[in-house]
């Protein structure tokens, strides 16, 4: 019985192995790569200098291969090749050598030997760079095709953008002859079709960005409006400007501080001197400081940025001088605190709770600290006036402050405070520009709803 | 002349910046980047002025015993500790006499502060003590080879003391300050959403709808989600864009006023 079982088992094993062998054969056949016919190459291939840029970039356009999304539907991607002379490899070697020397310099310090070596390497590198244009002209000799990028099937263009830094490995020299080709590649990367070679093509920087013509027109128009209204104001025309409660409150707030014998706290925000909101804030600070000097009230200006501090010191000093009280100016009126956002908040909150200022004025660029500052000020019982161009912070200031200048009102504040005809003239120009924007927006809205996009296309700005 | 040169500089560089926006050429970019580098250079010099200002204000507080003057010592100690930690690094496994060195340097600073305030005999005493601690710190620095000073490399930034003070003291303090925002938002929201008049009531209702959109267990959650999306995308976005356009024009107007010399307040010549 047992023998019978063993024989049957062995027989089954043999049959099984045959069956397995059969299956394997089938599997082997199924995994074999189907022979793919080469795809059709891309057509209408052309390369040209990328417009409106600083150079070092070539744009390539083509029509899809007949087998991309149609025909055999075998194209998976397009590989872009640029012909490079062997001289480029010499550059890579020299670049590597320079990197090694730099690393040595970091380790060993600036030794004379290393400096000398670096100088000679740089000299050699520059000499090779000079030979690059002539080496490219030698196409197709002494060079090879190098893959510079790839895009998925269905893509009709590619921008070969290199670096402008001569020591970068992506350096793409201007005014040099380049040759390109595009390969339509199937899932078997050896089965591909190359386009015709396009070249020579050169890249160079442009002197005018035509994509920004709408901005230029707007700037010229606005400049014209500003100059026109400023001249009008100079000639004595009376210009009406809508009163802003936040600005009118500044005078009262300074008066209140004087009556209470408490200081005025002026916060310039976290912006740098390069921010227009901070520049506008300097102007307001100048007016406030002048009035403060006249009333002989104390002014506190803790700053976040040392550069802002230096400018603010000059602004306040000049305001005291203009008010005829240069002796009352103290160097520490404007002082630096820290460049850490929340450490600055802690310091300013400390000042609020210790000094209990009668008035807090927040003008400039504010971020997450706006509400912490304004709420602490409200708890300290100060009158608070705020102005910022940071949209996300405006609601916080509206809630926690007594008066808030919303967005552009911050920029208009200096004109309101000074009431100078020249500044009021520029405000009028701003209002007219706004009216023009509203009219254009309405026209654009109507046109877009009718599907006439030509009008809105006029205002498109390229980067 | 003193006034005209700054205005001429503002005019030239202001117009160049406008010009640069329309000229993508490499040479225009090069000048622009060169000018930006100057901001960095001036900023570094200004930082020295800032530290000097911080020192002056803190010393003034200590000397005049202004409210909470003791904290000024903490400020100065923090400032100098981080400077010391940032420029020194351990060479081996042991710190050696590093901490006595740090204490000696801090004592030099404290003695200098006391010298400013003191008069007569005590002034000489404090100067003497400052010199003594200075000599001690120099001697430790010279003979102790377990750590070294690094001025020209970033070795000091890897100092564990520098990193630990930053990670375990500064970051938690800053996070604490930031977390206060949650409580302030609650108190500000309470004030903003009180239904005092029609507009405030509309604001309250809109805010409730927007807040409730996150509660999926609420009956009619889908309605709240749709309404809040409409509120955010239509009235809110419209108002937002109106402000943005206003800000944009304001920025251009201010920039023009500054470039043309109409606005002079930023130079204190209002």
Q: pLDDT (tens digit, 9 = 90+) per residue, A206-233?
A: 999 999 999 999 989 988 998 888 888 8
Residue B214 to residue B225: CA distance in whole angstroms? 8
Nearest CA to CA, how far is A113 from chain B (Å)? 19
Q: Does B51 touch chain A (CB under 8 A)?
A: yes
Select from B172, B253, B256, B259 the residue whose CB has the most chain A CBs within 10 Å, as the one to mutate to test that interface: B253
- For CA atoms B254, B255, B256, B257, give the dihedral sign: positive
Provide the 8-state DSSP code for B268: T
- Is B132 or A1 the better-scoring residue by pLDDT? B132
What pLDDT band is residue A109 in, cutting at 50, 70 and 90?
Answer: low
Give start and end residues of each alpha helix (H) in A109-266.
112-137, 213-234, 245-260
Select from B63, B178, B250, B261 the residue whose CB has the most chain A CBs within 10 Å, as the one to mutate to test that interface: B250
Q: Does B268 touch chain A (CB under 8 A)?
A: yes
Please report residues of B whose CB lies closer than 8 A to that of A346: 173, 177
What integer pLDDT is reported at residue A2 of this predicted model? 57
Nearest CA to CA, how far is B132 from chain A (Å)? 31
Please report residues of B whose CB lies closer than 8 A to that of A411: 247, 250-251, 253-254
What integer pLDDT is reported at residue A110 of this predicted model? 64
Q: Does B257 touch chain A (CB under 8 A)?
A: yes
Cβ neighbours, 10 Å, residue B180: 17
Condensed to tens digits (0 to 9), the pLDDT of residues A299-308 reads 999 999 999 9
- Is B7 or A180 the better-scoring residue by pLDDT? A180
Q: Does B187 touch chain A (CB under 8 A)?
A: yes
Please tell me which residue of chain B has the smallest CA distance to A400: B188
Please report residues of A whose CB lies closer than 8 A to that of B11: none
What integer pLDDT is reported at residue A34 of this predicted model? 61
What integer pLDDT is reported at residue B247 of this predicted model? 92
Cβ(A384)–Cβ(A219) below 8 Å? no
Please tell me which residue of chain A has the smallest CA distance to B260: A227
Nearest CA to CA, how far is B55 from chain A (Å)? 9
Please report residues of B whose CB lies closer than 8 A to that of A280: 250, 254
Instruction: Give CA separation, B40 vs A274, A440, A441, in Å.
Output: 12, 40, 40
Residue A25 pLDDT greater than 50, yes or no = no
Pairing of strands A383-388, A359-365: parallel
- DSSP state string for A146-174: EEEEEEETT--EEEEE-BS-TTSTTB--S
pTM over 0.90: no
Hey, are the CB atoms on B257 and A226 less than 8 Å from each other? yes
Task: List the end-to-end C-alpha distance of chain B, in Å, as a whole number.
Answer: 17
Please report residues of B whose CB lies closer than 8 A to that of A340: 170, 174
What integer pLDDT is reported at residue B108 of this predicted model? 94
What residue ranges of chain B have pLDDT lower than 70? 268-270
Residue A16 pLDDT greater than 70, yes or no = no
Hey, are the CB atoms on A371 and B184 less than 8 Å from each other? yes
CATH for the A43-201 domain, from 3.40.50.720, 2.60.40.10, 3.30.1360.70, 1.10.10.10: 2.60.40.10
- DSSP state string for A17-84: HHHHHHHHHHHHHHHSPPP-PPPPPPEEEEEEEPTTS-SSEEEEEEEPPTTSSSTT----EEEEEEEE
Q: Give the SS3 label for residue A31.
A: helix
Hey, are the CB atoms on A306 and B57 less than 8 Å from each other? no
Please tell me which residue of chain A has the smallest CA distance to B254: A411
Domain positions in chain A:
43-201, 210-237+424-457, 245-419
Condensed to tens digits (0 to 9), the pLDDT of residues B87-144 reads 998 888 888 999 999 999 999 999 998 898 888 888 999 999 999 999 999 999 999 9
Q: Does B179 touch chain A (CB under 8 A)?
A: no
Nearest CA to CA, how far is B76 from chain A (Å)? 12
Provide the 8-state DSSP code for A402: S
What integer pLDDT is reported at residue B228 of this predicted model? 93
Residue A382 to residue A250: CA distance in whole angstroms? 13
Hey, are the CB atoms on A222 and B249 less than 8 Å from each other? yes
Hey, are the CB atoms on A426 and B256 less than 8 Å from each other? yes
% of chain A exceeding 90 in pLDDT: 62
What integer pLDDT is reported at residue A82 of this predicted model? 95
Please report residues of A whose CB lies closer than 8 A to that of B23: 207-209
What integer pLDDT is reported at residue A28 of this predicted model? 42
What integer pLDDT is reported at residue A236 of this predicted model? 82
Residue B257 to residue A427: CA distance in whole angstroms? 10
Hey, are the CB atoms on A335 and B54 less than 8 Å from each other? yes
Fold of A245-419: Rossmann fold (3.40.50)
Residue A18 pLDDT greater than 60, yes or no = no
What pLDDT band is residue A29 in, cutting at 50, 70 and 90?
Answer: very low
Please report residues of B whose CB lies closer than 8 A to that of A305: 46
What pLDDT band is residue A7 in, cutting at 50, 70 and 90?
Answer: low
Average of per-residue pLDDT across A366-372 = 94
The beta-carbon neighbor of A430 closest among B53, B56, B253 is B253
Residue B73 to residue B243: CA distance in whole angstroms? 45
Average of per-residue pLDDT across A313-328 = 92
What integer pLDDT is reported at residue A22 of this predicted model? 47
């Amino acid at each position: 019985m047992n023998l019978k079982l063993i024989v049957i088992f062995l027989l089954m094993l043999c049959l099984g192995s045959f069956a397995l062998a059969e299956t394997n054969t089938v599997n082997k056949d199924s995994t074999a790569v189907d022979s793919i016919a080469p795809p059709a190459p891309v057509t209408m291939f052309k390369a040209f200098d990328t417009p409106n840029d600083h150079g070092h970039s070539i744009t390539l356009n083509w029509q899809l291969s007949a087998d991309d999304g149609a025909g055999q539907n075998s194209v998976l991607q397009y590989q872009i090749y640029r012909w490079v002379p062997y001289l480029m490899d010499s550059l890579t070697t020299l670049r590597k050598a320079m990197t090694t020397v730099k690393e040595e310099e970091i380790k060993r310090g600036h030794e004379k030997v290393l400096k000398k070596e670096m100088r000679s390497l740089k000299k050699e590198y520059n000499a090779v760079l000079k030979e690059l244009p002539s080496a490219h002209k030698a196409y197709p000799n002494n060079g090879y095709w190098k893959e510079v990028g790839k895009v998925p099937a269905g893509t009709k263009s590619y921008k070969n953008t290199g670096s402008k830094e001569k020591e970068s490995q992506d350096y793409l020299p201007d005014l040099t002859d380049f040759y390109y080709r595009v390969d339509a590649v199937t899932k078997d990367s050896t089965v591909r079709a190359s386009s015709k070679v396009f070249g020579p093509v050169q890249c160079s920087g442009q002197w005018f960005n035509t994509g920004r013509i709408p901005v230029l027109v707007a700037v010229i128009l606005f400049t014209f409006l500003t100059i026109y209204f400023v001249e009008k104001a100079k000639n004595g025309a009376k210009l009406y400007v809508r009163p802003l409660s936040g600005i009118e409150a500044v005078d009262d707030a300074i008066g209140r501080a004087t009556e209470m014998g408490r200081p005025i706290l002026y916060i310039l925000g976290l912006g740098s001197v390069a921010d227009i909101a901070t520049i506008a804030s300097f102007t307001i600070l100048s007016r406030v400081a002048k009035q403060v000097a006249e009333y002989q009230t104390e002014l506190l200006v803790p700053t976040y940025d040392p550069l802002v501090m230096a400018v603010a010191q000059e602004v306040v000093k000049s305001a005291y001088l203009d008010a005829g009280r240069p002796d009352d100016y103290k160097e520490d009126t404007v002082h630096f605190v820290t460049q850490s956002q929340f450490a600055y908040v802690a310091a300013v909150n400390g000042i609020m709770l210790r000094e209990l200022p009668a008035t807090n004025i927040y003008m400039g660029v504010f971020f997450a600290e706006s509400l912490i500052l304004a709420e602490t000020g409200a708890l300290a019982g100060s009158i608070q006036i705020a102005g910022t161009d940071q949209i996300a912070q405006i609601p916080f200031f509206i809630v926690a402050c007594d008066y808030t200048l919303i967005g552009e009102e911050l920029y208009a504040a200096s004109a309101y405070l000074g009431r100078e005809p020249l500044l009021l003239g520029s405000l009028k120009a701003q209002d007219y520009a706004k009216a023009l924007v509203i009219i254009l927006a309405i026209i654009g809205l109507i046109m877009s709803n009718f599907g006439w996009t030509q009008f809105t296309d006029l205002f498109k700005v390229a980067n | 002349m003193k006034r005209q040169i700054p205005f001429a500089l503002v005019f030239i560089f202001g117009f160049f910046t406008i010009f640069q926006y329309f000229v993508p050429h490499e040479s225009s970019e090069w000048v622009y980047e060169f000018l930006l580098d100057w901001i960095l250079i001036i900023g570094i010099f200004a930082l020295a002025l800032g530290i000097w200002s911080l020192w002056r204000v803190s010393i003034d507080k200590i000397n005049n015993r202004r409210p909470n003057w003791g904290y000024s010592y903490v400020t100065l100690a923090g400032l100098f500790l981080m400077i010391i930690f940032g420029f020194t690094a351990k060479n081996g496994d042991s710190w050696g006499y590093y901490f006595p060195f740090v204490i000696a340097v801090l004592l030099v600073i404290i003695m200098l502060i006391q010298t400013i305030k003191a008069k007569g005999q005590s002034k000489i005493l404090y100067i003497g003590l400052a010199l003594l601690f200075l000599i001690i710190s120099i001697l430790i620095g010279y003979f102790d080879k377990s750590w070294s000073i690094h001025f020209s490399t970033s070795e000091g930034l890897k100092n564990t003391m520098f990193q630990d003070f930053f990670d375990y003291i500064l970051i938690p303090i800053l996070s604490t300050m930031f977390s206060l925002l949650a409580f302030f938002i609650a108190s500000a929201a309470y004030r903003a959403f009180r239904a005092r008049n029609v507009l405030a009531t509309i604001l309250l209702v809109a805010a409730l709808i927007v807040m409730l959109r996150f509660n999926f267990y609420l009956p009619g959650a889908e309605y709240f989600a749709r309404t809040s999306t409409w509120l955010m995308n239509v009235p809110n976005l419209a108002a937002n864009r109106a402000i943005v356009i206003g800000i944009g024009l304001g920025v251009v107007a201010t920039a023009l006023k500054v470039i043309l010399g109409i606005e002079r307040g930023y130079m204190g010549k209002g």
